[in-house]
């Protein structure tokens, strides 16, 4: 069995995981403190988001030095101790590599600003359009928009050029057509590999290869022109070979990607990546594709997307990373579940729904106890650059402050970045000091200590799902077929392997739901045994947010 098919990854956002030194910011030693908790959960890899030296304009995804640890998170000695202590508990470290762009404070960009021609070629610099004279910046080279709002181009008078930034203005994109850039970045990966890192997550890696010609996007904001670019597969194969990544667990974050490219990224014979994240299933509550326009989740579209990607990747030999939450997404219980009346039930249903699909599941810190969005009511509580930018954009479009705040309370990336809720103690046991971002108000009810005291805890449900994956090869190796395709309430599928069958039935509604084809209890008449569920017993249909998993051999 390949190394990743029966494994589970736990994502840690260190700034919000555990503060060990009382400064209100999580750190590496805080992770060390909680390794026994993570080992008890049963996960295999710890994906740690960037803790490199950074001005923190984009919470560490603006890297100023790829091989230096930001002092607010600790030291290299702390990191080496973390790798060692994790290894003793059977846990491996996966690091986040941000290779599409650097911080504008990185030495390479600073040298470019000084006019060093070698480093000017590290970035994507272009003349403006419709210049009236040599001193005139003109207009941006294209109409592309950056991910956080506004033009993807910034005029830089010291260079006399516009530089491309597909993300924040403080994050200039690197020019991967330059072989020297590619070797520098491969060297960064080798540096961390030599320090015991066992896997890598590559941030927005499908944006590294830009189009041959830079032109306006007549249909959108540019993403379709620079996602999955002309040389991206070639660059990834080169990175794998140069950095010695063959056989290691790697995952790529794919922005605006498609199934065809993701098959190319993940087929074993391609020697590119172990698996990929795609985000299509997390846009089913975007009205007309607009993240900042609210609507109820379209469960039929969610089902269609899961079926297309699960079956398509299986037929083509690719591999999915399975996830609901991460540091860029709101909490899934608040989003697709019921954070009040059925918080525990919906948290468990959502977990089982993806953990038993074909792919490698990822758990984001706090997901295993059913953490919710914090429900912030003031713009002063937000820290995220995207949220702050879009708050102003929403006001400029005529939204009231209340309307803009309501949208942020649902959509902001800060919803997933609030401090981990460890206990009923002040600040949720995250820190003795005021945290860098406010803890959710419900920390006294929703926390690790109180959840683990309960016999039917969300934590124990996650632990059982992980155990099932490790003990039942059908989960890691089986094929997949979707059921109840016309049912607007129920997402259901069957996994098959050799002579085994696993049936997963998920009710996505807060009302009782029936199956189109027969009754739930019919499976028991056919020789199926209930393997796991979030309610006692079974009936003709599914109770609010109920999940039932049936297993049969023969």
The catalytic residue positions are: 203, 253
Question: 277-316 burial, b if ≥16 CB within 10 A, otherwise e?
Answer: bbebbbebbbeeeeebeeeebbbeebbbbbbebbbbbbee
Instruction: Tally Cβ neighbours within 10 Å of residue 96.
Output: 23
> Where does 412-542 have alpha helices with state H?
448-453, 458-471, 473-477, 522-525
Which residues make Cβ contacts (< 8 Å) with residue 251, sequence separation at least 6? 9, 47, 94, 199, 200, 201, 202, 273, 274, 275, 276, 277, 321, 360
Angle in degrees, CA 514, 517, 518, rounded to 5:
75
CB distance 421 to 428 below 8 Å? yes
Residue that has been written with the tokens 């997963």 in this structure: 504
3-state secondary structure string across 317-380:
CCCEEECCCCCCCCCHHHHHCCCCCCHHHHHHHHHHHHHCCCCEEEEECCHHHCCCCCCCCCHH
Helix (H, G, I), strand (E, B) or coil at 500: strand
Angstrom distance (rounded) from CA 359 to CA 347? 19
Q: Which residues pair with 201 in a beta bridge?
A: 96, 251
Which residues make Cβ contacts (< 8 Å) with residue 492, sequence separation at least 6? 482, 483, 484, 503, 504, 505, 506, 515
Angstrom distance (rounded) from CA 507 to CA 488? 9
Angstrom distance (rounded) from CA 201 to CA 253? 7
Instruction: Tally Cβ neighbours within 10 Å of residue 450.
Output: 16
CB distance 114 to 185 below 8 Å? no
Angstrom distance (rounded) from CA 545 to CA 522? 20
Question: 50-68 burial, b if ≥16 CB within 10 A, otherwise e?
Answer: bbbbbebbbbbbbbbbbee
Which residues make Cβ contacts (< 8 Å) with residue 147, sequence separation at least 6? 166, 167, 255, 386
> Where does 114-171 have alpha helices with state H?
117-120
SS3 content of the chain, % helix, strand, coil (to 5): 35, 15, 50
Q: Which long-range contacts (CB under 8 A, 24 or more apart) does 265-269 make?
A: 265/206, 265/233, 265/236, 265/318, 266/313, 266/318, 266/319, 267/316, 267/317, 267/318, 268/2, 268/317
């Amino acid at each position: 069995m390949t190394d990743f098919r029966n494994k589970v990854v736990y994502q840690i956002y260190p700034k919000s995981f555990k503060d060990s030194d009382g400064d209100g910011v999580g750190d590496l030693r805080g992770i060390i403190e909680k390794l026994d908790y993570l080992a008890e959960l049963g996960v295999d890899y710890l994906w740690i988001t960037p803790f490199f030296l950074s001005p923190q304009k984009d919470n560490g995804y603006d890297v100023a030095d790829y091989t230096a640890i930001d002092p607010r998170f600790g030291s290299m000695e702390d990191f080496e101790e973390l790798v060692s202590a994790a290894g003793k508990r059977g846990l491996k470290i996966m690091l986040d590599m941000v290779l599409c762009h650097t911080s504008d404070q990185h030495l390479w960009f600073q040298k470019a600003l000084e006019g060093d021609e070698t480093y000017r070629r590290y970035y994507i610099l272009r003349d403006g359009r419709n210049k009236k004279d040599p001193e005139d910046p003109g207009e941006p080279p294209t109409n592309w928009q950056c991910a956080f709002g506004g033009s993807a181009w910034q005029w830089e008078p010291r260079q006399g050029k516009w530089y491309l930034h597909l993300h924040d203005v403080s994050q200039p994109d690197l020019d991967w057509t330059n072989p020297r850039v590619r070797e520098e970045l491969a060297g960064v990966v080798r540096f961390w590999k030599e320090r015991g890192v066992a896997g890598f997550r590559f941030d927005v890696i499908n944006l590294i290869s830009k189009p041959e010609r830079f032109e306006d996007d007549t249909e959108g904001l540019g993403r379709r022109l620079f996602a999955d670019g002309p040389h991206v597969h070639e660059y990834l194969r080169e990175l794998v070979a140069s950095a010695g990544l063959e056989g290691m667990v790697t995952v790529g974050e794919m922005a605006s990607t498609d199934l065809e490219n993701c098959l190319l990224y993940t087929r074993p014979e391609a020697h590119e990546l172990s698996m990929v994240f795609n985000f299509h299933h997390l846009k089913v509550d975007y009205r007309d594709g607009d993240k900042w326009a609210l609507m109820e989740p379209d469960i039929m579209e969610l089902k269609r997307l899961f079926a297309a990607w699960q079956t398509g990747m299986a037929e083509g030999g690719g591999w999915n990373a399975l996830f609901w939450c991460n540091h860029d997404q709101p909490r899934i219980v608040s989003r697709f579940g019921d954070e009040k009346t059925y918080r525990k039930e919906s948290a468990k249903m959502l977990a089982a729904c993806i953990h038993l699909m074909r792919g490698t599941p990822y758990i984001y810190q706090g997901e295993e106890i059913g953490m919710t969005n914090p429900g912030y009511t003031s713009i002063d509580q937000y820290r995220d650059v995207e949220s702050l930018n879009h708050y102003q954009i929403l006001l400029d479009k005529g939204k009231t402050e209340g309307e803009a705040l309501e949208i942020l309370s649902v959509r902001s990336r800060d919803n997933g970045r609030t401090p981990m809720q460890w206990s009923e103690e002040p600040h949720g046991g995250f820190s003795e000091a005021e945290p860098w971002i406010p803890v959710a108000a419900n920390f006294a009810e929703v926390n690790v200590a109180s959840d683990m005291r309960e016999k039917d805890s969300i934590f124990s449900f996650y632990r059982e799902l992980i155990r099932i994956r490790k003990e039942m090869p059908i989960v890691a190796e089986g094929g997949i077929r979707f059921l109840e395709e016309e049912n607007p309430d129920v997402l259901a599928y069957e996994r098959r392997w050799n002579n085994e069958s696993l049936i997963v039935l998920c009710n996505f509604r807060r009302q009782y739901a029936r199956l189109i084809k027969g009754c739930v209890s019919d499976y028991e008449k056919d020789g199926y045994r209930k393997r796991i569920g979030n309610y006692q017993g079974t009936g003709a249909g599914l109770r609010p947010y109920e999940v039932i998993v049936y297993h049969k051999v023969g």
